């Protein structure tokens, strides 16, 4: 397995943690959540930079943003009581399908 995909998973997880803490930071007025946001994005971009040594930027970014969107939507739904209507669920399903297509059928992803 390409180590870049492990780094990508770490980058995605850090970005999701940081994004999840944004609301709690209340416009960066709360120190704890603000530190989580800053650290999370710092870790995310550091690991994303490592990913780009072995995974093409377009593929890495498509997977990073797609998986991040799905995870943030799930966190919003599960923990922040945000609703997802049929259109949102359909769109998220298409994002998941796109990431799967990249992984299964793109020769670029195997770089």
> Among 13-17, 31-35, 98-102, which is the least confidently predicted range?
98-102
Which of the four pLDDT bands, split at 50, 70 and 90, describes residue 1? Answer: low
Above 70 in pLDDT, residue 109? no
Q: Is 13 exposed, middle or buried (0-12, 13-18, 19+ CB in 10 A)?
A: middle
Task: Place 17 in a pLDDT band, splitting at 50, 70 and 90.
Answer: very high
- Per-residue pLDDT at 104: 85
Q: What is the pTM of this model?
A: 0.86
Q: How far apart are CA 75 and CA 98, in angstroms?
A: 20
Instruction: Output the pLDDT for position 111.
Output: 53
CA dist 105 and 37 (Å) reads 34
Q: Using one digit for the tens of pLDDT, what is the confidence trace for 51-88?
A: 999 999 988 998 999 999 999 999 999 998 999 999 99
What's the rounded mean pLDDT across residues 92-106? 89
Distance CA 104, CA 88 (A): 24
């Amino acid at each position: 397995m390409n180590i870049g995909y492990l780094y990508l998973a770490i980058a995605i997880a850090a970005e999701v943690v940081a994004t999840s803490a944004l609301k709690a930071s209340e416009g960066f007025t709360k120190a704890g959540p603000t530190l989580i946001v800053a650290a999370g994005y710092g870790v995310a971009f550091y690991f994303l930079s490592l990913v780009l040594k072995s995974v093409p930027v377009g593929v890495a970014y498509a997977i990073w943003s797609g998986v991040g969107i799905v995870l943030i939507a799930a966190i919003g739904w599960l923990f922040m009581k945000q609703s997802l209507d049929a259109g949102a669920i359909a769109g998220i399903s298409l994002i998941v399908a796109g990431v799967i297509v990249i992984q299964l059928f793109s020769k670029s992803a195997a770089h």
